[in-house]
């Protein structure tokens, strides 16, 4: 079939579909802000609770956020706490890959949004790029990690992560464990070790 056949067929579809387009109500901005405002408020509360656990000075640069879809539509973005199970979901990226999404503070928010793909079992080439993830509004203050679980293995999955903070010149090494539960998946930070970065002698 070629595109002309497709285009001709589209021209023959029932007018009710065209009418539906004209009658479609634009998604309300208000609900958008309410939703994201609520997410931001929750995030603030969670961050406030987590700060002392991550860093005694109260300002941890190593904040890992886990993303999940609740009821298949509303997004939750929750800052993770060591040892605590947080719900996570599989998201589809614009290139068709499915994976779990985490984010942490970007080193330089002026830079374009970065998404690192963690390719657990080398099931695709490293040329894959992600520019959009369905259901997540990405912003440049965050650096995203897209973890594609191994194709022929079942959960639990282990995801090693490294975060670097320029201000304190320190590095955090984390191990995140993703487990399957009755109604989906949860993620947990199993290990979190921070180091001050030192120049090689």
Partner 1 sequence: MDDEKIIELFFARSEQAISELDAKYGKVCFQLSHNILNNRLDAEECVNDAYLGTWNAIPPQRPNPLLPFVCVIVRRYSIMRHRANTAMKRNGAYDIAMAEIEHCLADPVTVEGTVEAKRLAHIIEDFLDTLTEENRVIFLRRYWFTDSYADIAEHTGFTEKNISVRLTRTRKQLREYLIKREVLV
Residue ranges that bind partner 1, judged by CB under 8 A: 1-22, 24, 26-29, 32, 92-94, 96, 131-135, 137-138
- Among residues 169, 157, 103, the alpha carbon closest in space to that of 130 is found at 103
Nearest distance from residue 90's CB to partner 1, in Å?
13
Contact 77, 88 (CB under 8 A): no
Per the structure block, which two tokens stand in for 90? Answer: 């599989």
Largest separation between any pair of C-alpha atoms in the chain: 74
- Nearest to partner 1 of 84, 92 (CB atom): 92
- Nearest to partner 1 of 28, 154 (CB atom): 28
Nearest distance from residue 2's CB to partner 1, in Å?
6
- Decide: helix, strand or coil at residue 25: coil
DSSP state of 185: E
- Nearest to partner 1 of 32, 181 (CB atom): 32
- Decide: helix, strand or coil at residue 33: helix
- Using CA atoms, how far apart are residues 138 and 91, in angstroms rounded to an integer? 13
Nearest distance from residue 149's CB to partner 1, in Å?
19
The sign of the CA dihedral 140, 167, 164, 90 is negative
53 Cβ neighbours under 8 A, 6+ residues apart: 81, 82
Nearest distance from residue 18's CB to partner 1, in Å?
4
- Nearest to partner 1 of 19, 158 (CB atom): 19
- Nearest to partner 1 of 108, 137 (CB atom): 137
Nearest distance from residue 125's CB to partner 1, in Å?
19
């Amino acid at each position: 079939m070629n595109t002309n056949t497709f285009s001709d067929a589209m021209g023959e579809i029932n007018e009710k579909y065209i009418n539906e387009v004209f009658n479609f109500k634009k998604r309300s901005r208000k609900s958008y802000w309410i939703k994201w405002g609520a997410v931001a408020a929750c995030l603030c509360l969670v961050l406030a609770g987590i700060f002392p656990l991550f860093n005694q000075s109260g300002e941890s640069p190593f904040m890992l956020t886990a993303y999940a879809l609740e009821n298949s539509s509303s997004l939750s973005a929750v800052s993770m706490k060591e040892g605590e199970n947080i719900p996570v979901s599989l998201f589809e990226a614009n290139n068709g890959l499915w994976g779990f999404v985490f984010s942490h503070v970007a080193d330089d928010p002026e830079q374009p949004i970065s998404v690192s793909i963690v390719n657990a079992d080398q099931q695709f080439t490293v040329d894959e790029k992600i520019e959009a993830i369905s259901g997540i509004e990405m912003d440049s203050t965050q650096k995203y990690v897209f973890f594609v679980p191994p194709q022929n293995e079942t959960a639990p999955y282990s995801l090693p992560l490294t975060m670097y903070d320029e201000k304190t010149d320190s590095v955090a090494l984390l191990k995140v464990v993703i487990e399957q539960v009755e109604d989906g998946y949860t993620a947990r930070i199993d290990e979190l070790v921070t180091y001050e970065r030192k120049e090689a002698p």
